[in-house]
A and B are shown apart, each in its own frame.
Chain A
Amino acid sequence: AQTVTQSQPEMSVQEAETVTLSCTYDTSENNYYLFWYKQPPSRQMILVIRQEAYKQQNATENRFSVNFQKAAKSFSLKISDSQLGDTAMYFCAFMKHAINSGGGADGLTFGKGTHLIIQP
């Protein structure tokens, strides 16, 4: 079984600053996916960014980028030029590759989340 650990329960930064959220995970799998989800007060789960473990290049999506360190099993999220709308809970999540889940749908394993507050 895999586990996902987010060691920062809450973080607060000023608008326009850069912030990095940490995530570590534990798995015996070699092929898998990692995700960052955003959950604003509306409760909606929004996919921020996705990384495939077999790709060495770090994923980027506009102001969001990740630092994926496979050997260290670390997957941090960097938010540049933070905006008030970035205030939310952020969850790191893991999914097995389809090959390792018997081609089935194992679902996502989530960390406990980091509450990010962007101050004006």
Chain B
Amino acid sequence: NAGVTQTPKFRILKIGQSMTLQCTQDMNHNYMYWYRQDPGMGLKLIYYSVGAGITDKGEVPNGYNVSRSTTEDFPLRLELAAPSQTSVYFCASSSASRRTEAFFGQGTRLTVV
């Protein structure tokens, strides 16, 4: 059971570049989430999705875009990367019936220079 898989694990971007963080889960979960964790801080919700074709903004959505074309995948797109987006990004998923049991990926450490 792979659970929640994030790729890449590490990435360095230059200011102004774009990239997509990939997230896939094999548990048939309806709910998926993207969080960011800044140094010395807790996780903050960027975007979430309750199912394919449905996404919504979280607490810190500016500078990001998401899509949910399948149940399994929930990619996070960074356009015009800025140093403020240097962070560790976590993807998580849960089932609708057990939404309090979130499964997290291993995280992607992104540095924008």
> Which A residues have a C-beta under 8 Å from some C-beta of B?
4, 33, 35, 42-45, 47, 50, 91, 93, 95, 98, 104-113
Contacts and interface: CB of A to CB of B under 8 A. Distances in A.
B71 to A, nearest CB: 14
B44 interface: yes
B64 to A, nearest CB: 14
B2 interface: no
B100 A45 contact: no
A113 B33 contact: no
A77 B107 CA distance: 25
Size band of the B side of the interface? 20 to 34
Contact of A43 (B31, B88, B101): B88
Nearest to B100: A33
Given A105-B50, A107-B48, A110-B43, A47 B106 contact: no
Contact of B104 (A4, A33, A44): A44
A6 B41 CA distance: 11
B106 A105 contact: no
B101 A47 contact: yes
Nearest to B44: A110
Contacts of A104: 50, 56
A108 B102 contact: yes
Nearest to A111: B42
